Amino acid sequence: MEFDHVIRKRKMIRKYLPNKIPDRIVSKMIKNASKAPSAGHTQVQEFIIVTDPATKKKLRQASVNQKSIEEAPVLIVVCSNTSRSVGRYGQRGRDFYSTIDGAFASMLILLTAVNEEIGAGFVGAFEDDKIAKILELPEYVKPIGIITLGYPDESPAKLERIENEQLVHYERW
In the complex, the smallest distance separating the C-beta of residue 68 from ligand FMN, rounded to whole angstroms, is 7
Residue 11 as a binder of ligand FMN (CB under 6 A): the answer is: yes
Which residue, 32 or 99, has its beta carbon nearer to ligand FMN? 99
> Would you call 18 exposed, middle or buried from its count of C-beta atoms within 10 A (0-12, 13-18, 19+)?
exposed
Question: What string marks each residue from 38 to 77 as x (binds ligand FMN by CB under 6 A) or -?
Answer: ----------------------------x-----------
Residue 124 as a binder of ligand FMN (CB under 6 A): the answer is: yes
Residue 125 as a binder of ligand FMN (CB under 6 A): the answer is: yes
In the complex, the smallest distance separating the C-beta of residue 22 from ligand FMN, rounded to whole angstroms, is 24
Rounded Cα–Cα distance for residues 102 and 143 (Å):
9
Rounded Cα–Cα distance for residues 131 and 1 (Å):
34
Candidates 108, 123, 141, 147: give the one binding ligand FMN (CB under 6 A): 123
Candidates 157, 159, 162, 167: give the one binding ligand FMN (CB under 6 A): 159
In the complex, the smallest distance separating the C-beta of residue 147 from ligand FMN, rounded to whole angstroms, is 10
Rg for the chain (alpha carbons), in Å?
17
- 137 with 143: CB under 8 angstroms? yes
> Would you call 19 exposed, middle or buried from its count of C-beta atoms within 10 A (0-12, 13-18, 19+)?
exposed
> Would you call 170 exposed, middle or buried from its count of C-beta atoms within 10 A (0-12, 13-18, 19+)?
exposed
**Among 1-9, 18-26, 37-45, 115-123, which window interacts with ligand FMN (CB under 6 A)?**
115-123
Which residue, 159 or 172, has its beta carbon nearer to ligand FMN? 159
Rounded Cα–Cα distance for residues 119 and 121 (Å):
7
Footprint on this chain of ligand FMN (rule: CB under 6 A): 11-12, 14, 66, 121-125, 159
